[in-house]
């Protein structure tokens, strides 16, 4: 699973997720991708589950790019803990996603329908509403 090797601050604030993605909102590498339609936190487990779902469907017959990285640590206080005693310890890592962010890209699949199906399986693993997008090029 993806996680930072080292971070400057172990317990970051939760922050706000207003607005749309100002960068990382276009296809940069592949022919198609998954674009977020709403904001949210995508955990490293969800990213990995989505990656596995699509690579298994295409039987490693295409190149997949993961365009988000879980930089943010989410802390949790243990169950049945009394109030106080400070902030909990980091539990998992999340990527902050805003509407428009491209989460995954894919290229080189033998069949367009297969590519779409693989992306669809990955979409089920994600906690936010997403859409499948293709590169905007016209065949001549």
- Applying CB under 8 A, the residues found at the interface with other proteins are 20-21, 25-26, 29, 31, 35, 37, 60-63, 99-100, 107-108, 131, 133, 135-138, 140
Nearer to other proteins, 70 or 100 (CB): 100
Nearer to other proteins, 32 or 73 (CB): 32
Find the shortest distance in angstroms from Cβ 47 to other proteins: 19
Nearer to other proteins, 74 or 128 (CB): 128
| Residue 52 CA: distances (Å) to CA of 23, 58, 72 | 26, 10, 22
SS3 content of the chain, % helix, strand, coil (to 5): 20, 25, 55
Residues 6+ apart with CB under 8 A from 4: 69, 70, 71, 93
Find the shortest distance in angstroms from Cβ 60 to other proteins: 6
| Exposure of 9 in the CB half-sphere (CA atoms within 13 A) | 7
Find the shortest distance in angstroms from Cβ 118 to other proteins: 14
**Angle, CA of 63, 38 and 73, to the nearest 5°:** 75
Find the shortest distance in angstroms from Cβ 37 to other proteins: 6
Nearer to other proteins, 12 or 24 (CB): 24
Nearer to other proteins, 4 or 108 (CB): 108
Q: Is 13 exposed, middle or buried (0-12, 13-18, 19+ CB in 10 A)?
A: exposed
Find the shortest distance in angstroms from Cβ 135 to other proteins: 6
């Amino acid at each position: 699973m993806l996680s930072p090797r080292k971070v400057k601050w172990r317990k970051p604030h939760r922050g706000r997720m207003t607005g749309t993605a100002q960068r990382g909102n276009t296809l940069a590498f592949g022919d198609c991708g998954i674009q977020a339609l709403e904001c949210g936190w995508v955990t490293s487990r969800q990213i990995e589950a989505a990656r596995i779902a699509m690579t298994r469907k295409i039987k490693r017959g295409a190149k997949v790019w993961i365009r988000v990285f879980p930089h943010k640590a989410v802390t949790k206080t243990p169950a049945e803990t009394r109030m106080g005693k400070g902030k909990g310890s980091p539990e998992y890592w999340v990527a902050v996603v805003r509407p428009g962010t491209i989460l995954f890209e894919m290229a080189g699949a033998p069949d367009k329908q297969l590519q779409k199906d693989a992306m669809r399986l990955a979409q089920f693993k994600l906690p936010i509403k997403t859409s499948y997008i293709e590169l905007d090029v016209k065949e001549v």
